[in-house]
A and B are shown apart, each in its own frame.
Chain A
């Protein structure tokens, strides 16, 4: 009798563990949102259905508000702020607005001005404020005029919550940073709800926390020119993976391609680099850094990365040569081994 029971117990345990293995395989809750002007994918691991739905809903609300306030060119907080700055007046910021601008100013400084959200007029001149950017590109003279006015984040004055600008040419365009900032906000909501394992992906840029059960989250990095992936990254802990590319927003006019990342030093779209991929914990920094490093290009990228405290960078240049930091080399697995240039900058 005892042997019989023991045997059945053993079988039951084996079968049960096989079954629960199956269950665990299927508990990623996936949802899609339209926000920040793009497709948002949220993956939540091992979370109860009801909690997942309410968290996704909360994230959606936050992102909609954020987009209305900081992105786009319709009336919103950003428009109000820009109007005030353009007319030389000051404007009172709310607490969360102050935080956002302080981070933008700090990132602009550490990027040696390559991440310059104050060049809104220049970006508008190039047509990238429109939903469907098209040519013709602006003429040299117009670009030079704006360059000469030299709007930069250091023109901003913050007195407690009062924001003003010493330079009326400053117009804030947070495009290179806002998505990251919004993702950080979303991740805060996810964490506040006790969820420890998630990915939020906004139009390709993502932040992942935790893991997929017993294995890390597997992220594919798309190839800048071909279908398929150029590399794979397994996330470790809480990480953002951001890629700036010359293929994201652009228009072609008379055979020439003009992409949306404008070099504040020249007034023209940056050249020489196809894409920059950055791994860093917070998304806002990763976002700004990917842009700044892309602008820095093959010559100067290591210095900028180092100054922004970014140690995991991959830059793909126009010859499809991959420039990497040693820390990035450790993390990335290439589909097909490319030509690699390893940065020798000590970090």
Chain B
């Protein structure tokens, strides 16, 4: 039996819309998984800056010790240079997953990677 014969014009329209909307649901709820899409850069007291990890770019942020340079590439982010002594921040390497975190505390700067649904409310370190 022909399914189309069982449907009115409006039925077909509604079914069409429903089917077209389904992929969007997958994108909305499955888009992230564990990969991060955004990084939150906190510099001192200022409101955190949100950076997309999709566009390759270098960013310079000024802290009390001087400029820290942050690099975004291939969906990942890292500290490239920082005026602190320990360079802990740089040694943290590439951050990419939801919840990944690095900080240059002497320069009062931190990077937190999050997707649309941040995994953590706070990081203990």
Contact = CB atoms under 8 A, between A and B. Distances in A.
Interface of A: 28, 30, 32-34, 38-39, 41, 43, 131-134, 199, 201, 203-206, 208, 212, 217-222, 226-229, 232-233, 241-243, 245, 247, 249-252, 277
A221 B125 CA distance: 6
Contacts of B106: 131-132
Contacts, number: 104
16 contacts: A32-B46, A38-B108, A43-B121, A132-B106, A133-B85, A199-B122, A203-B105, A205-B124, A219-B122, A227-B94, A228-B95, A228-B100, A229-B120, A232-B119, A251-B85, A251-B86
Interface of B: 42, 44-48, 85-86, 88, 92-95, 97, 99-103, 105-106, 108, 110, 119-125
A204 B93 CA distance: 18
Contacts of B92: 226-227
A206 B120 CA distance: 13
Contact of B44 (A39, A208, A219, A247): A39
Task: Pick the most buried of B47, B102, B110, B123: most chain A CB atoms within 10 A of its CB.
Answer: B123
Task: Pick the most buried of B44, B94, B119, B125: most chain A CB atoms within 10 A of its CB.
Answer: B125
Contact of B42 (A32, A217, A233): A32
B109 to A, nearest CB: 8
B99 A208 contact: no
A28 B45 contact: no
B87 to A, nearest CB: 9
A41 B105 contact: no
A220 B119 contact: yes
A271 to B, nearest CB: 18
B124 to A, nearest CB: 5
A318 B85 CA distance: 23
Contacts of A204: 103, 123-125
Nearest to B48: A32
A155 to B, nearest CB: 33
Nearest to A241: B124
A322 to B, nearest CB: 15
Given A220-B122, A243-B125, 12 more contacts: A34-B45, A39-B108, A39-B110, A201-B123, A204-B123, A217-B122, A219-B124, A221-B123, A227-B100, A227-B102, A243-B124, A249-B86
Contacts of B124: 201, 204-206, 219-222, 233, 241-243, 277
A20 to B, nearest CB: 19
A219 B100 contact: no
B23 to A, nearest CB: 22
B32 to A, nearest CB: 15
Given A228-B95, A228-B97, A251-B86, A39 B122 contact: no
A103 to B, nearest CB: 22
B123 A199 contact: no
Given A199-B122, A217-B121, A39 B99 contact: no
What 4 A-B pairs are tightest by C-beta distance, nearest first? A222-B125, A220-B120, A204-B125, A227-B92
A298 B115 CA distance: 37
A28 to B, nearest CB: 7
Contacts of A220: 99, 101, 119-120, 122-124
Nearest to B88: A247
A218 to B, nearest CB: 5
Given A32-B42, A32-B46, A227-B95, A41 B88 contact: no
A32 B101 contact: no
